[in-house]
Amino acid sequence: MSFFIKNKGKQPKTNKNQKNPSRKRKLPNNNEKTKSYNVPASKDDDITSSEDEDFNNKEQEHYESEDDNETAQEKKLRLAKVYLKEIEAQDEEQDEQDDHDRKIQQRLFYDHLKQTGRFRSSVADQYKSHSKISFLKAKEHKSTITCVCVSSDDKYLYSGSKDGGIVKWSLETHQKLSSLPFIKKSVEKAYTKGHSSSILSLALSHDSLFLAVGDTSSNIQIWNPETFKHIKTLSGHKNSIYALVFRRGTHTLYSASADRSVKVWSLDEMSYVETLYGHLDAVTAIDALARERAVTAGGRDTSLRMWKIPEESQLIYNGDTGSIDVVKLVNEETFVSGGDNGTLSLWGVNKKKPTASIKSAHGIDETNDQPLWITALAALVNTDLVASGSYDGNIKLWKVGDHSKTLTHLMTIPVLGYVNSLAFSNDGSKLIAAVGSEHRLGRWNVVKSAKNSLVVIELVKS
């Protein structure tokens, strides 16, 4: 029974800090000093102070007054403008990101085309004329200048001549900076201060660390192009070094010789790598780009060969009668050639015959009614611009047509003498020619009025 009895005596003790929810809260008067209480708000009730109520009232009055002064149409227009600004800001951010992504994608696409040999920029139509022609002379070049090369940053020129001298020039100021003079052959100091025979070929590495020089001896000399300090002698050929070229972006050197062989060298180790055989006559010219390939001209064997070095194979292209003496790659899939039959030929890697040919490209020799010999070629790499030289007193510029199937004459630049070597500056603004009174490999004919000089031609774009 006691379980059901209600105790009416003592009231249960309560915590003083606990609030009685049933008790009404007494609001303080303005004159009374009040204590601050931290009262937790329930989930269903919002408790606001008098200051909050005053603020809310003022804010409500502000919006009401604003709404009173603004019509519904004006409000829609204002909100629409705000929305449009937000959209424009988002679009600008998106456009910047899209531009960045597009540039990266375009760069990767161009790099892929260059690596696969399919990249080509159409610039030939922009060249309409030439302006200034400068003639650079030096005491080290009293004889015919045979070869020239340009640094990758277009700051320096290097030239070699039959009298064994090498000169470094500034392409910007056209001043001679330093030289490597001819020296008499000495057993004790062989090739430590210069060359003792005619210079026939030059090649400069992409980072200007190595200058490779070939002469009428069977050795290749490696020099520091900045100080002309001798680095190494590469031995292996058995005859004159007619041509040298570096594989782009590497220190791999390819050499072509009158001993009918092509050799591969690694200048990182300063060592011989391998020999490529196939030509039946002196290898007169060689060229290479980024791929592990090289194209060569075989002189009197009337053939051109594309060497696929990793595959240890070669592609053979048979030319016309006569000697094929010069060859240049336009891109990885296209090259041009010329020789003593006067024909300028355009080739595709996958075609056995020329895709285009210009017979007697530099005219006819009046003394014997024979086509004038094409003695030098240059190509602005990965574009459609090609230059050719002879001894007719002119350098000619050509345009390689669409799909590399045509050659079109663009302009003629007067230069007197044998054009033994040609090179474009990397930006295409200049054409440099090594000019002399006779051919670089012999004295079959002499142009007595010609000056042995380096010719710098300023090209004008439209």
One-letter identity of residue 317: Y
Contact 391, 416 (CB under 8 A): no
354: three-class secondary structure by DSSP: coil
Q: Is residue 388 part of a domain?
A: no
Residues 279-301 have pLDDT tens digits of 999 999 999 999 999 999 999 99
364: three-class secondary structure by DSSP: strand
**Residue 35, pLDDT score:** 42
What distance lies between CA 184 and its chain's CA centroid?
40
Indicate whether 386 pLDDT > 90: yes
d(CA 194, CA 182): 6
Give the predicted TM-score (pTM) of the model.
0.76
Q: Is residue 47 part of a domain?
A: no
Average pLDDT (172-197) is 80
Domain span holding position 289: 138-330+415-461
Residues 198-247 have pLDDT tens digits of 999 999 999 999 999 999 999 999 999 999 999 999 999 999 999 999 99
| 272 C-beta neighbours (distance < 10 Å), count | 13
The token pair that represents 1 in the structure block: 């029974």
d(CA 210, CA 228): 10
The token pair that represents 12 in the structure block: 């249960």
**Residue 229, pLDDT score:** 94
**Residue 361, pLDDT score:** 96
Strand partners, 233: 221
Q: Is residue 280 part of a domain?
A: yes
Q: How far is CA 40 from CA 37, 54, 342, 381, in A?
A: 9, 21, 103, 80
CATH number of residue 168's parent domain = 2.130.10.10
Q: Is residue 207 part of a domain?
A: yes
d(CA 297, CA 374): 13
**Residue 453, pLDDT score:** 95
Contact 163, 204 (CB under 8 A): no
231 by Cβ neighbours in 10 Å (0-12 / 13-18 / 19+) ranks as: middle
Count up the domains in the chain and report the number: 1
Q: Is residue 126 part of a domain?
A: no
Q: Is residue 23 part of a domain?
A: no
Residues 24-73 have pLDDT tens digits of 444 444 444 444 444 444 444 444 444 455 545 554 554 444 555 778 88
Q: Is residue 284 part of a domain?
A: yes
Task: Name the pairing type of β-strands 211-215 and 220-223.
Answer: antiparallel
Q: Is residue 263 part of a domain?
A: yes
pLDDT band at 89 (very low <50, low <70, confident <90, very high): confident
